[in-house]
Amino acid sequence: MNYKHTAAEVLKYVGGKENISHFEHCSTRLRFSLIDTSKANVEKLTSVPGVIAVKMTGQCQVVIGNEVVEVYDEVIDMIGSPAANTESANKPKEKQKIGSVILDFIVGVFQPLVPAIAGGGVLKSILLLFSLMGLLDTNGQTYKILNQIGDAPLYFLPILVAVTTANKLKVNTLVALASVGALILPNMTAMLTEGAHLFGFTVKNIPYAYQVFPAILTVLLFAQVEKLFTRISPKAIRIFFVPMMSLLITVPISLLILGPLGFTLGQGFAAVILAVFAKVGWIAVAILATVLPFMVATGMHKAMVPYAVTAMGAGKEVLYLPASLAHNIAESGACFAIALRTKDKRLRSTAISAGISALFGITEPALYGVTLQNKKVLTSVMIGSFVGGTFIGIVGLQAFVLVGPGLASLSMFISEDLPKNIVNAIIGLVISFAVSFVAAFILGKDKKVKEEQQDFISNLTTEKEFKSPVIGQMIPLSEVKDAVFSSKVMGEGIAVIPSKGELYAPVDGKIEMIFDTNHALGMTTANGAQLLFHVGIDTVRLGGKYFKPQVKVGDEVKAGDLLLTFNIEKIVEEGYDPVTMAVVTNKDKYSVKVADLKNVDRKDTLMFVTALGN
């Protein structure tokens, strides 16, 4: 990969340096907070060499894979410090949905914490492994000093959170750090333990080390106080007056109100997750492992990071990381199976590389390069994840380090008090890999062509015309306000803003699936293409209201047959976008050409679909 070229192209298609308000990276993705998301050209970004996929959630996430650091460095060389673009920061930002704003804030605060926490945690787990092997004495000073080094990121978690939150809010990092640092001063801790009073009020004894939410609330308050005094204070004294007043106001309020509130929130947040886990039991781990491919693909897994960080402050995590072990290894097993049975050299190379990455805890290359390209591979991963997650949930696997679970990080499951924990992790790893490998190998195995299939094979060699499934205004799929479709992760296809609430079959085929809420259905066409129809954005939340299927699973349909009716007016009244998508999901096997039309009806041809290799 030419890192400089890839960086330049990515920078160009996110809208240029002036459109970036914040920039960072995680283990596989470049993460851009954009001033105007409409300036990001997702279709062009996806076509950049080295880019695996693009996700437009709270941030513009460009999936690079294992070489993300090199591309990140090149982008930094081009734009300077990720926080230095003050000119862009002063421009009016595009109004975003509250959900996107919250997700962007969560990712911006918690994602940068992971490397430090993971590094310290893995060090502690390796020390424990060495002690169990008799290579280090737990009572020796070498072990104790190294163990303290490993514990430092978690102990000073409030300080780290203060830095990331201040960076995200673009306030004075060092003063924000001092505000939070006051909470964990040794003398302050001693005073709180003995019983302290401030302005006549009792200060609650809170152990702020290892805590997350008190620091976030403190910096949120500090940001508002700093802005206020920056605006009203004379410039001549601003350099000391603003920090002084910010500390004087922020720290006491945090000690009396925000600190206890944040501590209670953190404890309650973790308690709710653990209560659900205790109530549902092992099935929670199995279900989470099974749906992780979709959560990772849409970025929803980031919502679990605050819980995981909070749980690690208490010493262990029992849901997200164990489930991730099953999913990560299942991705690897499926990739190696595909590499073994495929005749496509390019796919084999991608599958081997992605399989190795997933084996070591990095799943994005596997997800976007292999899994989401093929329904059978995705099914295999889900099967392996569920079976492995079931075992892991039943044995109650516990994780003690916040790092992507994989072969190299298995020491994260070592516990002196639970000697069988690491053994269970290894067994869960083997089960997830083996089940996924076997499932992918069987489900993906080439089938022999029978004599009665010759008509079908002849269909494959012919370019098929797909008529418009609805009447309305056609728009580019890349403009749909749903990242799953606009990024074309689900497949290539068309989008139409309907003017009439009727969905018709664009070609002959068989109905394979109707979603429980009736807003989506799938069919296999005569030439083997798998079509997914999806009416509206987020209309799954309607629970089936306003949708009436006119067919059932297993029905053979002809082009022009009515498949579904829906009430456009009611859908719009409920606040949902009625745009209707039709995509070819097995795009690895078919070439899709989309016509450039505006107003369309059922007679218009919108797609031309041909089997690859013909």
What is d(CA 275, CA 538) in angstroms, rounded to the nearest whole number? 29
What is the DSSP annotation of 128-144? Answer: HHHHHTTSS-TTSHHHH
Among the options 26, 114, 162, 542, which is catalytic? 26
What is d(CA 208, CA 158) in angstroms, rounded to the nearest whole number? 7
CB 453 within 8 A of CB 446: no
CB 302 within 8 A of CB 103: yes
DSSP SS3 for 33: strand
Nearest to 59 by CA among 298, 291, 371, 363: 298
What is d(CA 8, CA 532) in angstroms, rounded to the nearest whole number? 35
What is d(CA 173, CA 226) in angstroms, rounded to the nearest whole number? 11
Q: Which amino acid is at 354?
A: A
| 335 included as an active-site residue | no
CB 494 within 8 A of CB 561: no
What is d(CA 366, CA 356) in angstroms, rounded to the nearest whole number? 9
What is d(CA 329, CA 309) in angstroms, rounded to the nearest whole number? 22
Nearest to 55 by CA among 81, 34, 75: 34
What own/partner pairs with CB < 8 Å and gap ≥ 24 does 395-399 have?
A: 395/420, 395/424, 395/427, 395/428, 396/282, 396/318, 397/285, 397/318, 397/322, 397/325, 397/421, 397/424, 397/425, 397/428, 398/316, 398/317, 398/318, 398/322, 399/316, 399/317, 399/318, 399/321, 399/322, 399/325
Q: Which amino acid is at 524?
A: T
502 backbone φψ class: left, alpha, beta (φ>0; ψ -120 to 50)? beta
CB 517 within 8 A of CB 540: yes
12 backbone φψ class: left, alpha, beta (φ>0; ψ -120 to 50)? alpha
Residue 174 structure tokens? 């060092």
Nearest to 478 by CA among 468, 488, 469, 463: 488
Residue 589 structure tokens? 């096997």
CB 63 within 8 A of CB 56: no
Judging by DSSP bridges, how do beta strands 472-475 and 547-549 pair with one another? unpaired
217 backbone φψ class: left, alpha, beta (φ>0; ψ -120 to 50)? alpha
What is d(CA 329, CA 425) in angstroms, rounded to the nearest whole number? 11
Nearest to 401 by CA among 481, 317, 342, 332: 317
Place of tokens 């002690």: 131
What is d(CA 324, CA 328) in angstroms, rounded to the nearest whole number? 6
What's the burial of 559, exposed, middle or buried (CB within 10 Å: 0-12/13-18/19+)? middle
Residue 139 structure tokens? 């009572």
Query: E-assigned strands of 369-518?
Result: 464-467, 472-475, 492-498, 502-504, 509-514
Active site residues: 26
